Amino acid sequence: MKKLFGCIAVFLFIAGFAATGHGGPAKLRVFVVDSYHREYLWSQDTGKGLCAAFREFKFLDNDAQMAEFEKNDFVETDTTVIKRAWMDTKRKNKKDEIAATTAAIMTEIGVFHPDLVLLGDDNATNFIGAHLYNTGVPVIFWGVDFNPLAYGYIDAKEHPGHNVTGVYQSGYFKEALENLEKLFPGIKTFAVLSDNSETGRAKSKVIARLAEEGKLPLQLVDRVETNSFSEWKDRALELQDKVDAFFVVNHSTLKDDDGTTVDPLQAAAWYLAHIKKPEASPEKQFVQEGMLLSVDDSGFRQAYEAGRMADEILHQKKNPAEIAVISPKRGAFMVNRQRAAMLGLDVSNKDFIEEVIDKATALEKHPH
């Protein structure tokens, strides 16, 4: 089924693109695909970064146009037309659902005739990118986890060699655990708690590899990777008695016993109410939810750098094959004050903390 959708979609795309030729319309045409959905905190952060780049590099002329794009997923200026589509793969992640979404978005892209396509995160890069690779349209990805060579679209980070370049996440797991140890000097062991998503598995795997190589300050005892909310909760409670801390990687594709996707904020609220051990997390969105800390692998910077590359390709006429794939510098070391108080930790005199988030949004939405 996926292959059938893919063949139809890529045919429509190539036919549409061939009909106009690269750069056909006078206005630049940019198509953005986000792997997730508008309410997802990471996507909100990447959206802000992308809009900041669009504004700075003259794809958008003013803040009103930024607001219009954020609201309507479409904006047209005197020089540029920008359209965005959402894959919603955190909630619609079955193979047939992703195949149908991919086919629909590829049809949109074929009708739109873009001069450039931006792909946000791994699922867009994987499923949409596969149909755009080695076509005449430049492609820029952001948010790819750890290994930008994984999808086979580039020859080397320094010299991509094809029509695809982009921005990847290097991860700051070691740094997050080092800061966790600073806040709780007596801790020795930790466990990874994750869903069984592509994102969750990738990050859990990297943490395990770092542990095997002896590069982490704490001993990794166990890893949980499941999409069952019941199992996720049971394992967290079980491990709470065996470890000093957790690394909460992801909890966006958990499902209840009826197979319904659980709101990530609901899962986070349960965790915050029932787990009394400190935790690290990989990104700002989780500290906003209420997790204790992160050395942020910034979504804003991921998408901003992708927007900067769009300027290089469309305005400066550079070849994506010659634009190096990059990982931006890390974001802030941030702590959630409400979670710290729940754990009996006063963060007011911790000068090494770079950013403090006061509230746990998960507990505001799902009080316990």
**How do strand 355-357 and strand 279-281 relate by DSSP bridges?**
unpaired
Residues 341 and 212 in one domain: yes
* Residue 141 falls inside a structural domain: yes
* Residue 152 falls inside a structural domain: yes
- Concatenating the DSSP letter of every residue in 6-44 gives HHHHHHHHHHHHHHH-TT-SSSEEEEEEESS-TT-HHHH
Strand partners, 355: 334
List the domain range (segments joined by +) for residue 352: 173-296+332-365
- Concatenating the DSSP letter of every residue in 99-117 gives HHHHHHHHHHHHHH--SEE
What whole-number distance in Å separates Cα of residue 239 and Cα of residue 217?
A: 19
- How many structural domains comprise the chain? 2
Residues 104 and 187 in one domain: no
- Region of residue 231 (phi > 0: left; psi between -120 and 50: alpha; otherwise: beta): alpha
Residues 89 and 58 in one domain: yes
Residues 58 and 125 in one domain: yes
What whole-number distance in Å separates Cα of residue 255 and Cα of residue 267?
A: 10
* Residue 257 falls inside a structural domain: yes
Residues 195 and 105 in one domain: no
What whole-number distance in Å separates Cα of residue 168 and Cα of residue 302?
A: 7
What pLDDT sits at residue 145? 86
Residues 13 and 131 in one domain: yes
* Residue 327 falls inside a structural domain: no
Residues 166 and 246 in one domain: no
Rounded (5°) CA angle 256-258-263: 35
Structure tokens at 352: 């090494």
* Residue 241 falls inside a structural domain: yes
Strand partners, 336: 357
pLDDT in tens, the chain (368 residues): 434 444 544 444 444 444 444 444 589 999 999 999 999 989 999 999 999 999 999 999 999 999 999 999 999 999 999 999 999 999 998 899 999 999 999 999 999 999 999 999 999 999 999 999 999 999 999 999 878 898 999 999 999 999 999 999 989 999 999 999 999 999 999 999 999 998 899 999 999 999 999 999 999 999 999 999 999 999 999 999 999 999 999 999 999 999 999 999 999 999 999 999 999 999 999 999 999 999 999 999 999 999 999 999 999 999 999 999 999 999 999 999 999 999 999 998 899 999 999 999 999 999 97
CB 100 within 8 A of CB 129: no
What pLDDT sits at residue 25? 53
Residues 314 and 199 in one domain: no
* CATH (domain of 97): 3.40.50.2300
Tell me the chain's radius of gyration from C-alpha atoms.
21
Residues 210 and 345 in one domain: yes
Residues 6 and 143 in one domain: yes
Residues 142 and 194 in one domain: no
Q: HSE, CB side, 13 Å, CA atoms: give it for residue 139.
A: 25
What whole-number distance in Å separates Cα of residue 120 and Cα of residue 38?
A: 12
> How far from the centroid of its chain's Cα atoms is residue 49's Cα?
12
